[in-house]
């Protein structure tokens, strides 16, 4: 019988080292591997192509996402780029309108100049993409929940419609991690994560991964990984592997803190809006409860008083660090309009609802009372 998530997190891809018995997979800090005759080696020839520490991590991540293949990259953006390379010259992609600012920038300002084209639409309506289909539409790019507005896409409903048209569905599952959501089980063709976030979990690594059950697609993505060479180093792979061992307990704690904090914020008179999929007030709360096994650690909210008040709150927090990124054990606070989504043109931010007063929290796993007190004093004192 297959082991459960928590057990796989600790053991998948990781056998005690056969040469020494080391329980933890060693950091194979080597660029190359000796050959006994030309082309004769023990499975590894050069670390851009493969490295034993990376190999162990890729098997571990694939197991957690329920995928046959995990292919890692030097960042989440590099993983996204590999998928767009794989879609091929001339491909048209229909993307969720609210995605990480760097993803939109990569699509609109890099690949749009490299024989790819993109349409952005609100995939909270699973039929919305159909009006944008072109003869060369190859994929729907889903981010769910989205960054930073925490909108959800109904993954299986989109898959059903897209597959009927021969269109692939790719899901950026960074915000939920494989612990709370498994898009491949919902029919998606490919999953992308920024491992920089929950998978690494300690804000000390930048990395990405692509996961799929499609053998031919995996072969091609692996070929792109080796050929383009945006690969992670062995030390980073070790750190993410160390991170995934505690993913389940971290995610449970992130969620419990976020649920408490979101409810507290919602009751605060100076807070005009709280967006958290776990709150009954979230317009897609029912979908969140059905599609995910938890609601995650990300909260967005709007304070009364626009940019001036938002800036005050951001500057006054002490436990929450004012910083980009998310998914680490430490709580982070940021301003999407000025920070993570600054590369999204102002008129599009406005259209999406990325308000000047919008603040995004990555709820860490510190004591909940300290987190509430930190936000309280930043708003009230
Ligand atoms: O930063 P990198 O590892 O390249 O991952 C890019 C990325 C991809 N997808 C999502 C949903 C993301 O949130 C990110 C990175 N996001 C931030 C740095 C941020 O603060 O939102």
Q: Does residue 120 surpass a pLDDT of 70?
A: yes
Q: To the nearest whole percent, how much of the chain has pLDDT over 90?
A: 98
Q: Annotated active-site positions, please?
A: 48, 100, 172, 197
Cα 100 to ligand 1 centre (Å)? 6
Query: Which residue lies with its CA nearest to atom 12 of ligand 1?
Result: 100
| Structure confidence by residue, pLDDT tens digits, 324-344 | 999 999 999 999 999 999 999
User: From CA 179, how far away is CA 292, in angstroms rounded?
Assistant: 9
Q: Taking residues 116-136, what's their average pLDDT?
A: 98
Cα 190 to ligand 1 centre (Å)? 17
What are the DSSP E strand ranges found in 225-338?
Answer: 271-275, 298-303, 321-322, 332-334
Q: Is 103 in the pocket of ligand 1 (CB under 6 A)?
A: yes
Q: Is 172 in the pocket of ligand 1 (CB under 6 A)?
A: yes
Nearest to 76 by CA among 203, 189, 209, 188: 209
Q: Is 143 in the pocket of ligand 1 (CB under 6 A)?
A: yes
Cα 32 to ligand 1 centre (Å)? 31
Q: Does residue 12 surpass a pLDDT of 80?
A: yes
Q: Does residue 131 surpass a pLDDT of 70?
A: yes
Q: What is the pLDDT of residue 22?
A: 95
Question: Residue 236 — pLDDT band, cuts 50, 70, 90?
Answer: very high
Q: Taking residues 363-380, what's their average pLDDT?
A: 98
| Structure confidence by residue, pLDDT tens digits, 244-299 | 999 999 999 999 999 999 999 999 999 999 999 999 999 999 999 999 999 999 99
State the residue for tokens 């649920």.
259
Q: What is the pLDDT of residue 2?
A: 86
- Residue 77 token pair: 């953006």
Identify the CATH number of the domain defined by range 247-380.
Answer: 3.90.1150.10
Residues linked to residue 40 through DSSP beta bridges, in sequence order: 37
Query: Which residue lies with its CA nearest to atom 6 of ligand 1?
Result: 76
Q: Is 5-244 a domain of CATH 3.40.50.2300?
A: no
Q: Does residue 18 surpass a pLDDT of 90?
A: no
Q: Does residue 320 surpass a pLDDT of 80?
A: yes
User: From CA 358, how far away is CA 216, in angstroms rounded?
Assistant: 42
Q: Is 206 in the pocket of ligand 1 (CB under 6 A)?
A: yes
Q: Taking residues 88-111, what's their average pLDDT?
A: 97
* Residue 106 or 381, more confident: 106
Q: What is the pLDDT of residue 1?
A: 65
Atom of ligand 1 nearest to the CA of 196: 3
- Residue 231 token pair: 């690969």
Q: Is 74 in the pocket of ligand 1 (CB under 6 A)?
A: no
Query: Which residue lies with its CA nearest to atom 16 of ligand 1?
Result: 325
Q: Is 98 in the pocket of ligand 1 (CB under 6 A)?
A: no
Cα 282 to ligand 1 centre (Å)? 23
User: From CA 81, how far away is CA 87, in angstroms rounded?
Assistant: 10
Q: Is 101 in the pocket of ligand 1 (CB under 6 A)?
A: no
State the residue for tokens 């807070």.
271
Q: Do domains 5-244 and 247-380 have the same CATH topology?
A: no
Ligand 1 pocket: which of 174, 192, 202, 334 to mutate (most atoms within 8 A of CB) = 174
Cα 59 to ligand 1 centre (Å)? 22
Nearest to 286 by CA among 128, 121, 169, 124: 124
Nearest to 189 by CA among 227, 152, 221: 221
Domain ranges of the chain: 5-244, 247-380
């Amino acid at each position: 019988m297959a082991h459960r998530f928590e057990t796989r997190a600790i053991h998948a891809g990781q056998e005690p080292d056969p040469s020494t018995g080391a329980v933890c997979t060693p950091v194979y800090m080597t660029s190359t591997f000796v050959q006994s005759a030309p082309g004769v080696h023990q499975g590894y020839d050069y670390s851009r192509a493969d490295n034993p520490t990376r190999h162990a991590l890729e098997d571990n991540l694939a197991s957690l996402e329920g995928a046959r293949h995990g292919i890692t990259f030097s960042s989440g953006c590099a993983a996204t780029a590999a998928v767009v390379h794989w879609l091929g010259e001339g491909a048209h992609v229909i993307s969720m309108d609210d995605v990480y600012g760097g993803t939109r920038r990569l699509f609109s300002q890099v690949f749009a100049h490299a024989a790819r084209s993109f349409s952005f639409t609100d995939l909270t309506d699973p039929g919305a993409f159909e009006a944008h289909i072109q003869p060369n539409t190859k994929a729907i790019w889903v981010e769910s929940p989205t960054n930073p507005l925490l909108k959800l896409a109904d993954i299986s409903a989109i898959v059903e419609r897209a597959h009927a048209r021969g269109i692939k569905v790719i899901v950026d599952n960074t915000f939920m991690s494989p612990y709370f959501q498994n898009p491949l089980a919902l029919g998606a063709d490919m999953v992308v994560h920024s491992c920089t976030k929950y998978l690494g979990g300690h804000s000390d690594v930048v990395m990405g991964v692509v996961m799929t059950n499609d053998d031919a697609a995996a072969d091609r993505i692996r070929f792109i990984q080796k050929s383009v060479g945006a690969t992670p180093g062995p030390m980073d792979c070790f750190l993410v592997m160390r991170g995934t061992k505690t993913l389940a307990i971290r995610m449970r704690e992130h969620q419990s803190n976020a649920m408490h904090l979101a409810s507290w914020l919602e009751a605060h008179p100076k807070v005009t809006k709280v967006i958290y999929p776990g709150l009954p007030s979230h317009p897609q709360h029912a979908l969140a409860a059905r599609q995910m096994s938890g609601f995650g650690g990300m909260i967005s909210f709007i304070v009364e008083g626009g940019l001036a008040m938002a800036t005050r709150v951001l500057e006054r927090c002490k436990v929450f660090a004012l910083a980009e990124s998310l998914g680490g054990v430490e709580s982070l606070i940021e301003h999407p309009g000025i920070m993570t989504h600054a590369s999204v043109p102002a008129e599009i931010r406005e259209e999406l609802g990325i308000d000047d007063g919008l603040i995004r929290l990555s709820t860490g796993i510190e004591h909940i009372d300290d987190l509430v007190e930190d936000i309280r004093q930043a708003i009230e004192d």
